[in-house]
Homo-oligomer: A and B are copies of this chain.
């Protein structure tokens, strides 16, 4: 018998038929004798519909009231799922975020969990009632309803698993695990059996990891095993685990591709402390999301800073940069509008030298020119011309043996 936290997303509970299917799935677990806490999101498009109504009444609603509104979505799901289970003869009881003891700060729409008081839910688990918990929400200490922002329901599940010291946290989703790269782009991509927290974090930050980085951070902090798997079949998915539990040691665990980026190079600006900070502060104030940043020294006492931004923010980026250069009365700007970035992620890099060289070599052999390079402890990112992005992804995926042999670890 294990204590398992499960999480089903909005697609999995999209209508009453799907809720019934989820209930049947939970029933099978229940009959194995497990203690179950089940976190659910709002049904399908509910959140969109609620936001739409809000917009009709106020284009810029207060976050407190938006949280009050959106939290109803999960509340509907938990009540219906509890009823469905009850109808199947499985004892179940639903809890809102507040009722299950999720205390957050007061930052509406992106609240952070401060504490989970499990004293209310624990007795129900012990008498083997399935506890159905509203994801994405909590209450602040004044009992105002708060929501956790993007990836909030996953975060509820992982944090609850930590608070309950659960044996595993299963995230049921519309993909069946984490792949070495996007299988829609590289057909030889393979599903991993396991991935380390740090690797998953890098993939999540690259937007390619199924899970939101906040959930992975919490899982890592408390050592919770997350099992990412499909809500539509019973296949084993991918387990996100502590580094020492990943059986097979590989150098690179996964490779990602990001397109629709642009590169801006600010050339020959004075090599003066604080100048780069000034530029990136301005960009932050203009809500430009800067991705890679590379600085290299060119002429003496002069610098060149290159960075990438999402292409749809290129116009505002140029305005900020132009204003900056006008003020400095120095430097010039160079833009490449169509850039793709390829990242290779793996804890194995820490102990293997020559990983960057292998990657550059593979790209060179395929006549793909590297525009920018950036490395961190377990990640190497290169920027290339966008039209070569897909090819570069394949080449790198292949170079690290992720495609031609079982990458499962």
Query: Which residues of B sit under 8 angstroms from A53, Cβ to Cβ?
Result: 16, 76, 80
A169 → B minimal CB distance (Å): 24
Please determine whether A87 and B68 come into contact, CB atoms closer than 8 angstroms: no
Q: Which A54-100 residues sit within 8 Å CB-CB of chain B?
A: 54, 56-59, 61-62, 64-66, 68-69, 71-72, 75-76, 78-80, 82-84, 86-87, 93-94, 96, 98-99
A330 → B minimal CB distance (Å): 47
Which residue of B16, B69, B76, B87 is within 8 Å of A79 (Cβ)?
B69
Does A166 touch B at the CB level, under 8 Å? Answer: no
Please determine whether B78 and A94 come into contact, CB atoms closer than 8 angstroms: no
Please determine whether B87 and A57 come into contact, CB atoms closer than 8 angstroms: yes
Which of A79, A86, A143, A145: most chain B CB closer than 10 A? Answer: A79
Query: Which residues of B sit under 8 angstroms from A93, Cβ to Cβ?
Result: 64-65
Q: Which A296-316 residues sit within 8 Å CB-CB of chain B?
A: none
Interface residues on chain A, size class: 35 or more
Please determine whether A16 and B86 come into contact, CB atoms closer than 8 angstroms: no
Does A50 touch B at the CB level, under 8 Å? Answer: yes
Does A19 touch B at the CB level, under 8 Å? Answer: yes
Contacts A99-B143, A143-B98 given; does A79 touch B66 at CB 8 Å? yes
Which residue of B57, B78, B99 is within 8 Å of A19 (Cβ)?
B57
Nearest to A76 among chain B residues (CB) is B72
